[in-house]
């Protein structure tokens, strides 16, 4: 009859599930860990998302400029203007930085020079598009400000405002290309959707679009820039 208390003690220890009872050799028993315990009502372990690992790479940020870039880099301190056969060319040595159509007595050349001096790179979307009126589908923009604050003659008349939070990319249909617009205000034409979305990326940085040169309907070289 003296064995009965020991059997009762063992049963109590089993029911207590590790509350500190000793083994039959008198050694202490470690308390259980509950890090992987799932309650019966919880979802299966395979359905529970794993915590993010500290070594995981973040998602890449959206590009802030069109990529790959098609740009001409130049020295804004080394620019000159050349005129020949109705074309004003802004040059960095023998490198053509910009071209704009206009007569020999018109201000397009000086306007283009003043614009180019403000930056260090002249970039393009849509060059080599292969359309008959190709110049109408080339969108140009400027990067890397030089710090020069030049004056562009007649700049206020060359610029128009738009809502950069309301820019839309539309297929014009019939193979006529794409366009970026602010409601009924068409800002520029593009050869395809990829070019149009690249142009929208640039236009979304500004609130005014400015043009130097003749309208694109004449399919002549002209310059655009944002403010």
Residue 97 within a domain: yes
Domain containing 112 equals 70-226
Query: Which pLDDT score, from 0 to 100, does residue 44 have?
Result: 46
Query: Which pLDDT score, from 0 to 100, does residue 87 have?
Result: 92
Taking only the tens of pLDDT, the chain with its 227 residues reads 444 444 433 333 334 444 444 444 444 444 433 333 333 344 444 444 544 454 455 555 566 999 999 999 999 999 999 999 999 999 999 999 999 998 888 999 999 999 999 999 999 999 999 999 999 999 999 999 999 999 999 999 999 999 999 999 999 999 999 999 999 999 999 999 999 999 999 999 999 999 998 766 667 788 999 99
Query: Which pLDDT score, from 0 to 100, does residue 152 have?
Result: 96
**Cis ω for the linkage preceding 68 (within 30 of 0):** yes
Pick from 134, 117, 116, 133: nearest CA to 125: 134
**Residues linked to residue 125 through DSSP beta bridges, in sequence order:** 139
Answering whether pTM is above 0.95, one says: no
**How many structural domains compose the chain?**
1
Residue 45 within a domain: no
Query: Which pLDDT score, from 0 to 100, does residue 58 have?
Result: 54
Sheet holding 185-190, edge to edge: 167-171, 178-182, 185-190
Token look-up 């069109």 returns 66
How many whole angstroms separate alpha carbon 95 and alpha carbon 58? 41
Counting every residue, how long is the chain?
227
Residue 113 within a domain: yes
Residue 87 within a domain: yes
Q: Say if residues 141 and 226 touch (Cβ distance below 8 Å).
A: yes
Residue 64 within a domain: no
């Amino acid at each position: 009859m003296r064995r009965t208390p020991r059997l009762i003690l063992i049963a109590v220890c089993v029911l207590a599930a590790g509350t500190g009872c000793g083994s039959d050799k008198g050694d202490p028993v470690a308390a259980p860990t509950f890090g992987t315990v799932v309650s019966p009502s919880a979802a299966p372990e395979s359905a529970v998302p794993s915590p993010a690992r500290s070594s995981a790479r973040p998602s890449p940020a959206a590009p802030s400029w069109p990529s790959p870039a098609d740009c001409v880099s130049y020295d804004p301190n080394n620019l000159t203007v050349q005129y020949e056969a109705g074309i004003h060319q802004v040059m960095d040595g023998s490198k053509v930085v910009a071209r704009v159509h206009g007569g020999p007595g018109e201000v397009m050349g000086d306007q283009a020079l003043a614009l180019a001096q403000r930056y260090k790179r002249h970039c393009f979307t849509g060059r080599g598009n292969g359309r008959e009126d190709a110049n109408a589908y080339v969108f140009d923009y400027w990067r890397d400000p030089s710090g020069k604050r030049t004056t562009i003659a007649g700049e206020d008349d060359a610029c128009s405002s738009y809502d950069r939070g309301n820019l839309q990319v539309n297929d014009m249909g019939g193979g006529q290309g794409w366009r970026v617009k602010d409601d009924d205000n068409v800002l520029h034409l593009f050869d395809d959707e990829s070019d149009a979305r690249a142009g929208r990326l640039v236009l979304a940085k500004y609130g005014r679009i400015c043009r130097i040169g003749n309208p694109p309907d004449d399919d002549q070289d002209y310059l655009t820039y944002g403010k």
